[in-house]
Amino acid sequence: MSKLITAGFKRLFRLKSLYACLAVIAFQLIINIGGESGLFEGHIGVRVTSGNMPESVSDTMRDLMLFTADSHISEVSFLLIIAAAIVIGNLIGSEHSFGTIRNKLTVGHNRTEIYFANFIVSLTTVLIMLVFGWALIFGLALPLGAQLVSTAEKLVTLFLLNVLYSIVITAIFVFMAMNILSKSTTLTLSILIGGAALLLNVLFSSQLSQPEYVTPRSQAFDSEGRIISQETLDPQKNPMYIGGTRRVIYETIDTLLPCSAVTEYSGEVDVPKVITEVGELAVFTAAGLFIFRRRDLK
């Protein structure tokens, strides 16, 4: 299998889509971090730190508006799923479209070896993009004055969750790329599934995070934004809150989404989500291998 992995890496590092995806990740992070830091002041954003935060801003808003390195980690996780779909689709899809997968089988490599060699090369690709994204966040945000809110332990946990997430999305996209013989179909389906997973994750996490009750506050400000008076009203039922069977369905789907354990991480590891991800890894790898070992190739 080492021969196939060596050949796979040689091919990977010639893949233009890998560099294109790294460039997109870099561009996105530079724009967002640069904008938040005030690097592009007057054009894109305003640097907000705990020192210049207006008094009227609530604590929740304060957390959201603060210029931190941590807040950009989920951006990498979001970009990673689409980037992985594109790179893996191209890497393995071209083996089918060029017919070069035949060169491996004809000279006596077995299908299990070919599957796992492609899995390892694809996983390395995704991990390279993940590490690149993280390195860029800390290499760019911290020198530009961003704060680091998370503890080292929390960051390590989040990184490990991202590694697990990378393994799972690799398993899903390798499953598709190895068993769909058309590169364009593989790419289209992978990107659609990746995009759908992201959209559903954003949709469900925002809806599920709604509190059941809300406590309205009434505030009055002077011309300089200082609070003159403040009144807390009685708690009221939140009309946006999702309950009952609908909540169970939403939670189940959200748990099944491979990105949710990472994007919804708030300091505590969601064990059911992690177990689900490990299950998805096992199911997609076993199913992918099972189908590929029996599949007629052209």
Partner 1 sequence: MEYVLKTNNLSKHYRNFKALDKLTMSVPKGSIYGFVGRNGAGKTTLIRLICGLQFPTSGSFEIYGAPNTSGDILRSRRRMGAVVETPSIYLDMTAEENLKQQYRILGLPDFSGITDILELVGLHNTGKKKAKNFSLGMRQRLGIAVALCGSPDFLVLDEPINGLDPQGIIEIRELILKLNREEQITVLISSHILDELSRLATHYGFIDSGRIVKEMSAEELEQACRKCVRVTVTDTAALATVLDSMSMDYKVLDSKTADIFAKPNITQLTLALAEQQCELLSVEEHDESLESYFISLVGGGSNE
Question: Which residues form the interface with partner 1 (CB under 8 A)?
Answer: 2-4, 6-7, 10-11, 14, 94, 98-110, 294, 296-298
Question: Contact 263/201 with Cβ under 8 angstroms?
Answer: yes
Read off the amino acid at residue 127. L
> Which residue, 113 or 251, has its beta carbon nearer to partner 1?
113
Question: Which CB sits closer to partner 1, 102 or 226?
Answer: 102
Question: Nearest approach, Cβ of 7 to partner 1 (angstroms)?
Answer: 4
Cα-atom radius of gyration of the chain, to the nearest Å?
23
The three-class DSSP label of residue 176 is: helix
Angstrom distances, CA of residue 183 to CA of 31, 139, 173, 279, 285 = 32, 36, 12, 27, 20
Distance CA 274, CA 265 (A): 11
**Nearer to partner 1 (CB atom), residue 107 or residue 271:** 107
Any long-range contacts for 279-283 (C-beta under 8 Å, 24+ apart)?
Answer: 280/168, 280/171, 280/172, 280/256, 281/164, 281/167, 281/168, 281/171
Who contacts 6 (Cβ-Cβ below 8 Å, separation ≥6)? none
Instruction: Find all residues with CB under 8 Å of 222, minimum gap 6, and list them.
Output: 228
Residue with tokens 């789907």: 253
- Tell me whether residue 94 or residue 162 sits nearer to partner 1 (CB atom): 94
User: How near is the Cβ of 214 to partner 1 at its closest, in Å?
Assistant: 57
Q: In angstroms, what is the minimal distance from the CB of 27 to partner 1?
A: 24
Number of Cβ within 10 Å of residue 247's Cβ equals 13
CB nearer partner 1, residue 61 or residue 297: 297
User: Which helix H or strand E contains 70, and what residues bound it?
Assistant: none
CB of 113 to partner 1, least distance (A): 10
Nearer to partner 1, 11 or 47 (CB): 11
The C-alpha atoms of residue 124 and residue 111 are separated, in whole angstroms, by 20
Nearest-approach distance from CB 26 to partner 1, in angstroms: 23
219 beta partners: 230
CB of 127 to partner 1, least distance (A): 22
CB nearer to partner 1: pick between 77 and 94: 94
Nearest distance in Å: CB 185, partner 1: 19
